[in-house]
Amino acid sequence: MASTTFRVFRFQPDSGDLESYHQDFSLDHEEKTTVLDALLRIQNEQDGTLAVRYSCRSAICGSCACKVNGKTVLACMTQVEEAKAESGSSTLQVDPIGNFAPIKDLVVDMTSFWEKFKAVKPYLIPDGPAPQKERLVPKAAMEKVAKESACILCAACYSECNSLAADPEFVGPAAFAWGYRFAADERDAQRKNRAKLYSGQHGIWDCTRCMFCNERCPKGVDPRDAIEKLGAIAFQEKVTKDKGARHAKAFLISMRTGGKLNEQLVGGLTDPVGGAFNAPLALRMLQKGKLPASPLTHRVKNRDQVTKLIKNVKETI
């Protein structure tokens, strides 16, 4: 038997209390108990008003995501004793997932998450009339989208997405993992349209690469990698007007000119009209010697190899 104190986030606005707080519950439990089982026992044995969302108890439905000692996990997939050992704390603080408004205790309002999910058109849109039989797809083609197909929409990735915290309208990791899953499916005929749909404001170029989504995803979906692959699809489809895409293009040009990043080129090509490199900051950058005087600086030895690679390497995304 083990014993644990659970410091649980409480918020019960329907009872008239609009303030949230943490409440401690002590529980004696088996060594091998999950956080979800512990919460359900607290609900059954100590406080029937505790609100927890769950369904499958086996890491499939995606409804039990919450934060345990600050880290977003699936409650049904997380052993209490392991979480204690990992965080080095005998108390487990359980909070609702981040970047969402709590409705009641650990239950959050996921409306925005579903809206964004719908907005990426998460279904196949083939061309022409449906075939007589099912559409057969070679195994290799499905392997391309196997990781992303494993997403269970638990929102663990959203919970700590840094771009989302700064901009609640960012479409975000899970929706883009689904977006890639369809954009890269050879039965789908909307590759270019999808590239356009995903490339706007709050789209793929808003991802700040904080890597929290890859770190947190309990299913190994690696949504950040899916966003990266959507960028490559945008390039293949020549959907490169967005400032984010221009920034990536500037890197390529910079690589072609000298093999290294040239700050002046990248700044100028990303946003020729103003933006971040607007006058006062650019001036101070120049004064501090933080912008090169010429776009032709930085040349690596054996640059011809780089030129050849840029010319020869084929993209297979």
Partner 1 sequence: MPRQFAYYPGCVAEFSSKELNATTKALAPLLDIELLPMPQATCCGAGDIAEAKPNLYLTLNVRILSEAEEMGADILTICNVCTLNLRRANKMVREDPRLLEQVNGELVNAGARPYRGTIDVTHLLWYLATEEGLSLLEQRGPKGLGGLRVAPYYGCQLLRPSSVMGFEDPDRPQSLERLITALGGEVADYDGKTRCCGFPIILAREEVALRESHVALAGARDAGAQAMVTPCPLCHLAMDAYQRKTEQLMGEEYAMPVLHLPQLIGLALGLPTQTMEFKRHFTSVDEVLQTVGA
Restricted to residues 152-191, the positions that interact with ligand SF4 (CB under 6 A) are: 152-157, 161-164, 172-174, 177
Residue type, 275: G
Instruction: Indicate which single residue of 11, 25, 54, 158 sits in contact with ligand FES (rule: CB under 6 A).
Output: 54
Q: Which residues contact 264 (CB under 8 A, 6 or more apart)?
A: 291, 292, 293, 294, 295
Instruction: Indicate which single residue of 88, 128, 131, 138 sits in contact with partner 1 (rule: CB under 8 A).
Output: 88
Residue type, 115: E
Interface mask toward partner 1 for 169-198; x: CB under 8 A: -x----------------------------
Complex with partner 1: residue 81 or 251, whichever CB lies closer: 251
Give residues 298-317 in contact with partner 1 (rule: CB under 8 A). Answer: 298, 300-302, 304-306, 308-310, 312-317
Q: What is the DSSP secondary-structure string of 188-243?
A: -S-HHHHHHHHSSTTSGGG-----HHHHH-TT---HHHHHHHHHHHHHHTT---SH
Burial class for 289, CB neighbours closer than 10 Å (0-12, 13-18, 19+): exposed
3-state secondary structure of 65: strand
Interacting partner of 221 out of ligand SF4, ligand FES, partner 1, none (Cβ under 5 to 8 A depending on kind): ligand SF4
Whole-number minimum distance, CB 34 to ligand FES, in Å?
9
Give residues 251-280 in contact with partner 1 (rule: CB under 8 A). Answer: 251-252, 254-255, 259-261, 263, 266-267, 270-271, 275-277
193 near ligand SF4, judged by CB under 6 A: no
Complex with ligand FES: residue 153 or 265, whichever CB lies closer: 153
87 near partner 1, judged by CB under 8 A: yes
62: tokens are 């995606």
Q: Decide the pairing of beta strands 107-108 and 21-29.
A: unpaired
Cα separation of 43 and 167, whole Å?
35
C-alpha torsion sign, points 285, 289, 295, 297: negative
207: tokens are 């991802």
242: tokens are 């967005």
Whole-number minimum distance, CB 221 to ligand FES, in Å?
14
245 near ligand SF4, judged by CB under 6 A: no
CB 183 within 8 A of CB 233: yes
How many residues bind partner 1 (CB under 8 A)? The answer is 77
Instruction: Indicate which single residue of 59, 61, 189, 248 sits in contact with partner 1 (rule: CB under 8 A).
Output: 248
At residue 73, φ and ψ (nearest 5 deg) are -145, 170
Instruction: Indicate which single residue of 4, 12, 63, 264 sits in contact with ligand FES (rule: CB under 6 A).
Output: 63
Whole-number minimum distance, CB 243 to partner 1, in Å?
4
Instruction: Indicate which single residue of 61, 232, 285, 306 sits in contact with ligand FES (rule: CB under 6 A).
Output: 61
Residue type, 256: R
159 near ligand FES, judged by CB under 6 A: no
Complex with ligand FES: residue 63 or 199, whichever CB lies closer: 63
88: tokens are 């080095």
Residue-level length of the chain: 317
Residues making contact with ligand SF4 (CB under 6 A): 151-157, 161-164, 172-174, 177, 207-213, 216-217, 219, 221, 223-224, 227
Residues making contact with ligand FES (CB under 6 A): 54-57, 59-64, 74, 76
